[in-house]
Structure 1
Amino acid sequence: MRSAEGLLEIGFMRTVFDSLGAGVFVTELTGRLTACNPRAQQLLGRPQKAMLGHDLHDLLHRGPDGGTLPRSECGMLAVLDSEQPAEGSEELFLRGDGSLVPIIWAATPLRHEGRMEGSVVVFHDFSLHRDAAEQTAAHLAALEGLTARLTMVAEVSTVLISALETPEMLDRLAGLLVPDMGDWAAIDVRTAGQSGEMRRVAVRAPHDPRTAEALRGPLPPLPESTRSAVVQALRSAEPVALDADDLAEAPDSPLASAHRELFDRLGGSCAVVVPLYTRRQVFGALTVARVDPGSSYSEAELFVLADIARRAGLVMEAGELFEQQRHVAETMQRQLLTPLPQVDHLELAARYLPAESAAEIGGDWYDSFLLSDGVLTMVIGDVVGHDLKAAAHMAEVRNMLRALAWDRTEPPSLIMRRLDEAMTHTSDAPMATCVFARIEGAEGGPWKLHWVNAGHPPPLLITADGHTRFLEAGHGPLLGLSSALHMGLGWPDAQADLPPRSTLLLYTDGLVESRTRDIEAGLDTLRRHAAALARRDIEDFLDELLRRIDPSGDDVALLVLRTPAAGVGAGPGEAPAQQAHSPAAANRGAPGSRIEDTPVRDTSEPG
């Protein structure tokens, strides 16, 4: 008989067994269930009497499809043979209602007085844990997808804002979209200035680059009516999704046939066509396609592609506006660069090179004209700023200088002072740099240069034998600074002899300064090349100088004067006299200025 304490202990253990929050089974050596607690009954929806005496594996253990499993694959029964604990989380039990419940379990051999008598199996419903894990995995996958999309959009944005020509930008954009957003991508754009004309500017297909390259080029014009996805996207400014059925339809226009050729040659089971547009206009369409059967595009992917296309449209619009601004500014400057006068045997030549981008078009100008006393002037200047407004201010300052210089016969320093005051009190033009010079001398020479310099790079004098020097004298403050700030500064008049056959070069800072070279290095380069070209005709001098220096970025203006040989121009027995030619006589036979978009390419050896 058991003692009272033994009976109490058995009763306590029974209470613990019944109160456990996990399901508990006890089996004998054959695997038959001999005990189960209330939690096991609750988890499986089975009463105790329906389970006790039945084989644990045969009654409860099932595969993912609900079918029975071989006993050899049952890890819980394996404990009876190995007599070693085991656990697992990839098993399913059959509930009383026929549904399956995933479990996490642990099985331990049951020994009594040293003998193996069966096993104890403890299990939990794992569905909540598994659902949470699956949900976490889904969230992680979604975050990874979102991160990949954001990375791609960041790369696309970098391409869009980089200083690229539009065709190159669109080609790189198409390359960034494959293979992440599709197996191939193509971009068709409307040709500027030709309504209805289309051109395929980019095709990227890593699996067939040769075919992709062959598919670029002119396209048929936009038809009046068609079911073409490209035309739908262009006219509705909305994305158009295509599935296998849409791609199987016969094309109904030449443009639709050209679009269909992409799929015939590169493959495709689904595609998206999104417009490159802004609120003002539609520039073209982007097509992205996938080849694998059964593939499709999600709403999130459609949204990303539409956003990328909209960004590209904004960049294309900005490019158009910049080009328009560049054209207006360049046209304004060209109209203001008047033909150059010719006095006696003095030779004048000029060049103007517009900036490479609309953002750099600015206020550079040159000028040369005869004053009321018949004296020749030379002017080079640069108004602060790089835009259409700077070009307009340049015109304003240029015309004020012309009027002030013509109004009175005064030294350059006084002309510059009056211009500074006029800019401050009658104009909204910002600061400007300028060299204003008078070329004075008797018939046939000798010639003298009288000048002032308002913060501009110094003129360069090159003698016939190649000696060079920068004319550093005459320096004063920038225009629009002294009078505005009541600084009381002035511009000292400077003079220099112009030897026979010498060359005087005035230029703007775009010739000697750039983002990759400081002005000191640029001045040294200018001096070296100018010396080597001293004997060249002044037209060749300018062309070769520009070819060798090859300025880039900012716009550039140059004005050059060549004096004649000693005595040339003076008649026999004619007394030297100060120039007093009328403008009409002085301009007779004037060669005019020469304005070029690009420097003349040279075949001679560098000096």
Structure 2
Amino acid sequence: MSGADRAGEPGVLRAVFDGLGTGIYATDAAGRLIAANPRAERMVGRPAARMLGHDMHDLLHRDADGERIPRENCRMLEVLADGRPREGGDEYLLRGDGTTLPVIWSAAPLELPGEPAGLVLAFHDFSVRRAAERQTAAYLQALEALTTRLTVVSEVSSVLISSLDIPRVLRKLGRMLVPDLADWTAVDVLTGQPDEVRRVAVHSAADPEAAGELEGPLPPLAESAGADLVRALRGAGTVSLDAADLAREPDTPLTAAHRWLFDRLGGHSAVVVPLHSRRRVFGAFTAARTGDSPPYTEDEVMMLADIGRRAGLAMDNARLFDQQRHVAETMQRQLLTPLPQVDHLQMAARYRPAQVAAEIGGDWYDAFLLEDGVTTMVIGDVAGHDLQAAAHMAEVRNMLRALAWDRREPPSVIMQRLDEAMTNTSDAPMATVVFARIEGREGGPWRLHWVNAGHPPPLLVEPGGGTRFLEAGHGPLLGMSATLNLGLRWPDAYEDLPPEATVVFYTDGLVESRTRPIDTGMELLCRHASALARHGLEEFCDELLERMDPRGDDVALLALRLPRYGEGAPGDRTPPPSRGEPAYSPADPSRSAPGAEAMDAEEVFTQAPHGVDRPPLP
């Protein structure tokens, strides 16, 4: 007999029913069990003999907690009502031991000869998959929590390295931890004075007004090892506080001030984290939780401790940067030149270092009196932005002073001598320089006599606001002609200067940056200088720098303002505009202008060389 002929035999059907790896229940039209295969018996832990005749829904169908499900909500029994198959995956059957079995199931009508249709239910044990789903969900939840924490740490790290303004950074840090890691935060720092502590930031989303009132100086740091804040500030590590710790009587004034935070802002648990590097402790921050927020977990404590370490490293870097900046600034001011006061001529200078840690470079300005009584002005730039560039700058500046001092030679000849001296006696790299003489008698008229070695041209600003660049006298950079034996020359240039005009000498950092081409910068310089033409010279320089807003490179600025015609001439008693007050310059205040070390303010004006000894204009 063929397999097809045997398919309908009762024995074959019974073998299939008993051997299926799926649980099978069959009911009559009323929902009473009439059959159960061995797999169903094992899965539910109930012998078929004890189940047959019982209502399947009442006996077996439960929710996840083992509670009965209302009959009208049973999707399996809906098959009996309309004869349409159903399936589902979020159902539970009651085991014989009282536990529940999660199943996925499929139900279909059961047609029995001569009887109303019942139903047949096939189901699989879903507990393994359900456990796998729960484990996967737990993994995903843990991964999400880890990702959130890493995101917070990444954002905190970005804030910590974004600025050297540490109080501002610490205030921002406190805000970032609320509400993800704390309901409120407070940051206390050691000021650098013995045992002096200051609370620089308190942040509470629930009570910002009270938080702001809690900032300010704190009681001095005591030696008590039992005080939580003291322990953190002494570098003993992160301290966790629970309700019992917060209920203890404070043993130092500083601890009492710390407890006052909890009295005002609330809190049942907290973590006090030192802000530290390997070298020192800079302070501590407190992260607290209030109300229904859960206590801190061990992972959260470790995360806050890591944030404290990162903040301490940022504070250490800022401290080292500040020290380096102070040393560099002191050295730069020693290298820069005080400005002389000559007759009624006004001069002002500014120096802005590059926005890097060293804050020292090769830009410089200079102004001094020559032996023939003429005032000279210099602006220059030696290649580089570091200590070596500053050393080369000082070397080139001193060479130029020595070569120009006692020689009544045109600026072009002085520049050629300087180029040869740099090549043969110095390792200074290429440099750009404008070297100018202010020629004329006291009271005017005045003439600018200059030479330009590859430098941006000076800007002439007329009293009415007209501007133009003095582009004549342009020659090659220093350090190139003699080195390459090019035989290049520097032409002299002349310009008659109108009374009350301003001449601006500057380095390229004022007009050029990575975000602004030099042509655009020079157009802006003309526009701003024109608008400032009638301002006082000091204000002119300050405002010009403010409006130009140079970025990235060193900037040196030297400005000359001429008096009205006739001021300072023999017989004129108009006092010089800055009589008795040295012209402002970025140079160290302990330095004085060349040739004036032994003179007081009065002598500078009465004994300095005057125009009668100067060569007249041709």
TM-score by length of 2: 0.79
Q: Closer, same or farther in 2 for the Cα pair 1:297/1:384, shift >3 Å?
A: farther
Q: Which residue of 2 aligns with 1:241?
A: 240
SS at match of 1:287: strand
The aligned length equals 570
Q: Closer, same or farther in 2 for the Cα pair 1:464/1:244, shift >3 Å?
A: closer
Q: Which residue of 2 aligns with 1:321?
A: 320
In the aligned structure 1, how far is the partner of 2:236 from the partner of 2:474?
A: 59
Once the two structures are aligned, what percentage of the paired residues are identical?
58
Q: Closer, same or farther in 2 for the Cα pair 1:485/1:202, shift >3 Å?
A: farther
Deviation, 1:64, is: 4.1
Structure 1: gaps of 5 or more residues: 534-539, 573-588, 598-607
In the aligned structure 2, how far is the partner of 1:352 from the partner of 1:486?
A: 36
The 5 Å alignment of 1:344-493 reads 345=343, 347-355=345-353, 359=357, 362-372=361-371, 375-386=374-385, 390-406=389-405, 410-420=409-419, 422-423=421-422, 429-441=428-440, 447-462=446-461, 468-480=467-479, 489-493=488-492
Q: Does the CA contact (< 8 Å) of 1:434 and 1:456 recur in 2? A: yes
Question: What CA deviation, in whole Å up to 9, does each residue of 1:30-77 have, x standing for no partner?
Answer: 544332222223323444445445554455444544466666665545
In the aligned structure 2, how far is the partner of 1:129 from the partner of 1:528?
A: 80
Q: Closer, same or farther in 2 for the Cα pair 1:391/1:198, shift >3 Å?
A: farther
Question: What CA deviation, in whole Å up to 9, does each residue of 1:67-126 have, x standing for no partner?
Answer: 666666655456545655444433333434554322222333322136325332211111
In the aligned structure 2, how far is the partner of 1:149 from the partner of 1:300?
A: 10
Q: Does the CA contact (< 8 Å) of 1:272 and 1:288 recur in 2? A: yes
Q: Does the CA contact (< 8 Å) of 2:276 and 2:309 recur in 1? A: yes
In the aligned structure 1, how far is the partner of 2:43 from the partner of 2:269?
A: 47
- Say yes or no: does 1:525 pair with 2:527: yes
Q: Which residue of 2 aligns with 1:546?
A: 542
In the aligned structure 2, how far is the partner of 1:439 from the partner of 1:353?
A: 22
Q: Closer, same or farther in 2 for the Cα pair 1:68/1:562, shift >3 Å?
A: closer
Q: Does the CA contact (< 8 Å) of 2:239 and 2:271 recur in 1? A: yes
SS at match of 1:491: coil
The 5 Å alignment of 1:157-306 reads 157-163=157-163, 165-191=165-191, 193-236=192-235, 238-293=237-292, 295-306=294-305
Q: Closer, same or farther in 2 for the Cα pair 1:236/1:463, shift >3 Å?
A: closer
In the aligned structure 1, how far is the partner of 2:54 from the partner of 2:500?
A: 121
Q: Does the CA contact (< 8 Å) of 1:341 and 1:369 recur in 2? A: yes
Out of 442-451 and 160-169, give the one that drifted further: 442-451
SS at match of 1:156: helix
Matched letter for residue 277 of structure 2: T
In the aligned structure 1, how far is the partner of 2:107 from the partner of 2:567?
A: 120
In the aligned structure 2, how far is the partner of 1:484 from the partner of 1:287?
A: 64
SS at match of 1:456: coil
SS at match of 1:112: coil
Matched letter for residue 448 of structure 2: L
Q: Which residue of 1 aligns with 2:610?
A: none
Question: What CA deviation, in whole Å up to 9, does each residue of 1:107-150 have, x standing for no partner?
Answer: 33322136325332211111112122222322333343334334
Q: Closer, same or farther in 2 for the Cα pair 1:262/1:529, shift >3 Å?
A: same
Deviation, 1:24, is: 0.8
Q: Which residue of 1 aligns with 2:584?
A: 594
Q: Closer, same or farther in 2 for the Cα pair 1:466/1:236, shift >3 Å?
A: closer
Q: Does the CA contact (< 8 Å) of 2:403 and 2:414 recur in 1? A: yes
Matched letter for residue 156 of structure 1: V
Matched letter for residue 257 of structure 1: A
SS at match of 1:227: coil
Q: Does the CA contact (< 8 Å) of 2:510 and 2:521 recur in 1? A: no
Matched letter for residue 120 of structure 1: V
Q: Closer, same or farther in 2 for the Cα pair 1:384/1:592, shift >3 Å?
A: farther
In the aligned structure 1, how far is the partner of 2:402 from the partner of 2:46?
A: 109
Structure 2: gaps of 5 or more residues: 573-578, 588-618
Q: Which residue of 1 aligns with 2:126?
A: 126
Q: Which residue of 1 aligns with 2:598?
A: none
Matched letter for residue 522 of structure 2: E
Out of 91-100 and 131-140, give the one that drifted further: 91-100
Question: What CA deviation, in whole Å up to 9, does each residue of 1:511-536 have, x standing for no partner?
Answer: 55676793223321244145435xxx
In the aligned structure 2, how far is the partner of 1:108 from the partner of 1:175?
A: 60
In the aligned structure 2, how far is the partner of 1:485 from the partner of 1:233?
A: 65
Q: Which residue of 2 aligns with 1:585?
A: none
Q: Which residue of 2 aligns with 1:576?
A: none
Matched letter for residue 235 of structure 1: R
Q: Does the CA contact (< 8 Å) of 2:449 and 2:494 recur in 1? A: yes
Q: Closer, same or farther in 2 for the Cα pair 1:37/1:423, shift >3 Å?
A: farther
Out of 370-379 and 115-124, give the one that drifted further: 370-379
Q: Does the CA contact (< 8 Å) of 2:500 and 2:561 recur in 1? A: no
Q: Which residue of 2 aligns with 1:580?
A: none
Q: Closer, same or farther in 2 for the Cα pair 1:320/1:12, shift >3 Å?
A: same
Out of 247-256 and 108-117, give the one that drifted further: 108-117
In the aligned structure 2, how far is the partner of 1:207 from the partner of 1:335?
A: 52
Q: Does the CA contact (< 8 Å) of 1:269 and 1:295 recur in 2? A: no
Q: Closer, same or farther in 2 for the Cα pair 1:508/1:591, shift >3 Å?
A: farther
In the aligned structure 1, how far is the partner of 2:8 from the partner of 2:467?
A: 119
Matched letter for residue 595 of structure 1: S
Out of 268-277 and 483-492, give the one that drifted further: 483-492
TM-score by length of 1: 0.81
Out of 240-249 and 41-50, give the one that drifted further: 41-50
